[in-house]
Amino acid sequence: QVQLVQSGAEVKKPGASVKVSCKASGYTFTSHTLHWVRQAPGQSLEWMGWINGGDGDTKYSQKFQGRVTITRDTSARSAYLELSSLRSEDTAVYYCARGGGTMVDWGQGTLVTVSS
């Protein structure tokens, strides 16, 4: 079965960067898109961007353009989300999700806390 396993919780200071990983199994990694979605405490879901598992093509939400980088390592069957210039408002649970249009399978989430 499809599994997306994310890295553990992070605590970062304002201005720092964070890199979250998402390791995939149970499907052909290069045949599917992986999305990154975040959820601040008590808030809705917010799409950040995607990466094509095959050619590595990326697309980002305009809100995060310039601060977010999504990469993948096909040999490791993993995708990565890097968010820079962190501020308190970036405190959230970050999810990876597999899917083209809709998001069929989700990781367990990674809590990133930004605090001085």
Partner 1 sequence: DIQMTQSPSSLSASVGDRVTITCQASQDIRKYLSWYQQKPGKAPKLLIYDASNLATGVPTRFTGSGSGTDFTFTISSLQPEDIATYYCQQYHNLRTFGQGTKVEIK
Beta bridge mates, 82:
19, 69
Among 61, 69, 71, 113, binds partner 1 (CB under 8 A): 61
Q: Is the Cβ of residue 11 or residue 45 nearer to partner 1 in the bound state?
A: 45
Q: Is the Cβ of residue 27 or residue 106 nearer to partner 1 in the bound state?
A: 106
Interface with partner 1 by CB under 8 A: which range of 15-23, 66-74, 77-85, 101-109?
101-109
Return the beta strands (E) in 53-98 as ranges: 58-60, 68-73, 78-83, 92-98
Name residues whose C-beta falls within 8 Å of residue 112's C-beta, 6 or more positions apart in sequence. Answer: 9, 10, 12, 18, 20, 83, 86, 90, 91, 92, 93, 94
Q: Tell me if 38 contacts partner 1 by CB under 8 A.
A: no
Which residues contact partner 1 (rule: CB under 8 A)? 35, 37, 44-47, 50, 59, 61-62, 95, 97, 99, 101-104, 106-109
